[in-house]
Amino acid sequence: MATTETMTLNMGPQHPSTHGVLRLVLELDGEVVVKVTPHIGYLHRGIEKLSEHRTYHQILPLTDRLDYLAPMSNNLGYILAVEKLMAVEVPERAETIRIIMAELTRLESHLVWIACHALDIGAMTVFIYAFRERETVMEIYELISGARMTSNFFRVGGLSQDVPDEFVKKVSDFIDVMPGYLDQYEGLLTTNPIWLKRTVGNGVISAEDAIDIGLTGPALRGSGVDWDLRRDNPYSGYDKYQFKVPVGENCDTFDRYKVRLVEMREACKIVRQGLDKLKPGPVLADCPQVCYPPKESVYNSIEGLIHHFKIASEGFAAPEGEVYQGIEAPKGELGFYIVSDGGNKPERLRIRPPSFVNLQAIEQMSVGAMIADLVAVIGTLDIVLGEIDR
Amino acid sequence: MAENNRAVLKLKEKFAASIIDVVEFRGEVTVTVAKDVIIEVLSFLKQSLQFNLLTDLTAVDYLGKKEERFMMVYLLYSIPNKDRLRIKTPVTEVECKIPTATQVWKTANWLEREVFDLFGITFDGHPDLRRILMTDDWVGHPLRKDYPLQGPDREPYKGRLS
H/E stretch holding B123 reads strand B122-124
User: Is the CB of residue A151 less than 8 Å from the CB of residue A145?
Assistant: yes
User: Is the CB of residue A214 less than 8 Å from the CB of residue A331?
Assistant: no
Q: Is A232 on the interface with B (CB under 8 A)?
A: yes
Q: How many CB atoms are closer than 10 A to CB A57? A: 19
Q: How far apart are CA A378 and CA A243, in angstroms?
A: 28
Residue in A351, A352, A364, A388 to test binding to B, most B beta-carbons within 10 Å: A352
H/E stretch holding B33 reads strand B28-33
User: Is the CB of residue A331 less than 8 Å from the CB of residue A338?
Assistant: no
Region for A235 from its dihedrals, namely left if φ exceeds 0, alpha if ψ lies in -120 to 50, beta otherwise: beta
ipTM value for the complex: 0.88
H/E stretch holding A352 reads strand A348-352
Q: How many CB atoms are closer than 10 A to CB B117? A: 23
Q: Looking at residue A271, what is its pLDDT?
A: 93
Q: What is the DSSP letter of A326?
A: E
User: Is the CB of residue B124 less than 8 Å from the CB of residue B98?
Assistant: yes
Q: Which residues of chain B have a CB within 8 Å of the CB of A53?
A: 149
Q: How many CB atoms are closer than 10 A to CB B8? A: 19
Please classify residue A366 by burial: count the beta carbons closer than 10 Å to its beta carbon, then call 0-12 exposed, 13-18 middle and 19+ buried.
Answer: buried
- Residue A306's contacts (CB-CB under 8 Å, 6 or more residues apart) are none
Q: Looking at residue B161, what is its pLDDT?
A: 58
Nearest to A345 by CA among A315, A367, A377, A375: A315
Question: Which percentage of chain A shows pLDDT scores above 90?
Answer: 33
Residue in B29, B50, B52, B53 to test binding to A, most A beta-carbons within 10 Å: B53
Q: Looking at residue A343, what is its pLDDT?
A: 87
DSSP lists the bridge partners of residue A328 as: A333
Q: Looking at residue B73, what is its pLDDT?
A: 92
Q: Name the average pLDDT for chain A.
A: 89
Nearest to A221 by CA among A181, A256, A266: A256
What's the pLDDT tens digit per position in A116-168?
A: 888 888 888 888 899 998 999 999 999 998 888 888 899 888 898 888 989 99
Backbone angles phi, psi at A28, to 5 degrees: -120, 140
Question: Which residue among B28, B55, B105 sits closest to A323, beta carbon to beta carbon?
Answer: B28
What's the pLDDT tens digit per position in B17-38?
A: 888 888 888 888 898 998 888 8
Q: How far apart are CA A74 and CA A78, in angstroms?
A: 6
Residue B160 pLDDT exceeds 70? no
**Sign of the CA dihedral with B117 first, then B119, B120, and B121 last:** negative
Residue A15 pLDDT exceeds 80? no
**Cβ-based interface (< 8 Å): residues of B facing A:** 25-26, 28, 30, 52-56, 58, 60-62, 65, 73, 75, 79, 82, 84, 86, 105-107, 109-111, 114, 118, 132-135, 142-143, 147, 149, 161-162
What's the pLDDT tens digit per position in B104-155?
A: 998 999 999 999 999 999 999 889 888 998 888 888 898 988 888 887 877 7
Q: Looking at residue A19, what is its pLDDT?
A: 75
Q: How many CB atoms are closer than 10 A to CB A156? A: 27
Q: Looking at residue A105, what is its pLDDT?
A: 92
